Amino acid sequence: MCAERCPSNCLENNCNIIGYCNACKTNYTGNKCETRLCQNCYQQMCVLDTGICSRGCIGGYYGNKCTINCSEKCDPRICNLITGDCTYNCTNGYYGPKCEKPCSSTCHSQTCRKNNGACLNGCQNGYYGLFCKQLCSLQCKNAVCDFNNSRCVSGCNEEFYGPFCSLSCSPNCAQGGCNQSNGFCNEGCLPNWRGNICDKCSPYFYGTNCSKRCSSNCRGGHCYAENGTCVKGCKRGFLGHQCKLECQDYKYGPNCVFDCGHCKDGKPCVKTNGSCLDGCETGWSEMFCLKVTSSIIDLQSGVKFVQNQRKSPNTQRGKEQTDSMPASSANCVEETQLNEQNIEFRNDHTYSKITCTPKSSEYQEIHVYRNTDLSNK
């Protein structure tokens, strides 16, 4: 006698003698149709009483009953049964656990890493960094830089150089800018400047912006850029660190160290070379008026005479004779008998030696020293 009812999910309540359903109602399965077949459950298997998917969800759903859609950004569209986090990757342009965050718009091809959003294929032009949010230098040509270290990869705009194009070419470069690796001026320097990067004054200029020309009185025309001091000293007739001071009257030569000769009417000589333009005082000759020409020598002019007389049998008589005679006439007969003189410069004195033609057997040498006091001699 059949005392028990067939399971409720048996189709048309039809079961065998031990209670197994001959067939199940829709969405149910099992011997007694005790397992519910859910639409989003894996193999449509779920617990009969609760509807919880016992074997997980089909693709695109998650939750204990597989009723929640996985994010459309999951690639493929499979997510964690409990959390809904995308199991694999995200579609292009998104990242995050559920691929809910957009990649940076400056990522190349808008592709980024799923876990942190770092750009996968570099940055769009003009940006660099892990997330391509930092701007390349505006001096990079075409605004292109390495997305890892921001180095300009296509060179620099004109007037800039260096790996990051952060250095300015010298403003003293001529047209054409500078070499973008070392800053050397491509077309040379503007006037008054020199050097690889045109940062030094040319030898003929000095001062701020090399705007001042060295003194024309500098020997060689060169001066130091800092203060205009002449590198090789002054031309004749000038002195001072910039050689702008002329020699005082009656001085001439390098640094004005020489005294003028006996110029006519006491006029000063030319300060560069010591020449007397209007000639010499009487008794002096040549361009510098330092050579004695007259046999008449004024003792008051500071001339020291050194007389040497050849020995003779009447030495005392000869001495008395020369002591009583003017030195100019003792042994020199006439001015025309004077031999050519030799002139030497010794320190601050001018030395002149006059050799006279001897009269009979006597001779005399006259040594002339300028600036010599003959008193008490």
Range of the domain at 311: 299-369
Q: Is residue 49 part of a domain?
A: no
How many C-beta neighbours within 10 Å does residue 26 have?
7
12: DSSP letter: G
Indicate whether 347 and 321 sit together in one domain. yes
Q: Is residue 356 part of a domain?
A: yes
Indicate whether 356 and 305 sit together in one domain. yes
Domain limit, last residue, from 231, 264, 289: 289
Indicate whether 264 and 321 sit together in one domain. no
Calculate mean pLDDT across residues 38-66.
86
Indicate whether 284 and 304 sit together in one domain. no
Q: How far apart are CA 108 and CA 125, in angstroms?
A: 9
Compare 26 and 265 and report the one with higher pLDDT. 265
* Amino acid, single-letter form, for residue 190: L
From residue 94, how far is each of 81, 115, 117, 357 by CA, in Å? 21, 10, 8, 122
Q: Is residue 225 part of a domain?
A: no
Query: What local confidence, expressed as pLDDT, does residue 48 receive?
Result: 72
Indicate whether 308 and 255 sit together in one domain. no
Q: Is residue 279 part of a domain?
A: yes
Domain limit, last residue, from 289, 314, 349: 289
Q: Is residue 338 part of a domain?
A: yes
Calculate mean pLDDT across residues 232-241.
88
Structural domains counted in the chain = 2
Local confidence band at 80 (pLDDT 50, 70, 90 cut-offs): very high
Q: pLDDT tens digits for 256-291?
A: 889 998 998 989 999 888 899 889 998 888 778 988
Asked if the bond preceding 76 is cis, omega within 30° of 0, the reply is yes
Helix/strand/coil (H/E/C) assignment for every residue in 135-201? ECCCCEHHHCECCCCCCECCCECCCEECCCCCEECCCCECCCCECCCCCCECCCECCCEECCCCCEE
Q: How far apart are CA 210 and CA 214, in angstroms?
A: 10
Query: What local confidence, expressed as pLDDT, does residue 1 receive?
Result: 64
* Mean pLDDT of the residues in the chain: 77
Q: pLDDT tens digits for 328-340?
A: 333 333 333 333 3
Calculate mean pLDDT across residues 162-166.
90
Indicate whether 308 and 271 sit together in one domain. no
Indicate whether 305 and 271 sit together in one domain. no
Q: Is residue 332 part of a domain?
A: yes
Compare 369 and 283 and report the one with higher pLDDT. 283
Q: Is residue 126 part of a domain?
A: no
The predicted model scores a pTM of 0.45
Question: Which residues are CB-contacts of 36 (< 8 A; sequence separation ≥ 6)?
Answer: 27, 28, 45, 46, 47, 48, 51
Q: Is residue 66 part of a domain?
A: no
Lowest mean pLDDT among 178-187, 214-223, 258-267, 315-324: 315-324
Q: pLDDT tens digits for 82-95?
A: 999 999 999 999 99
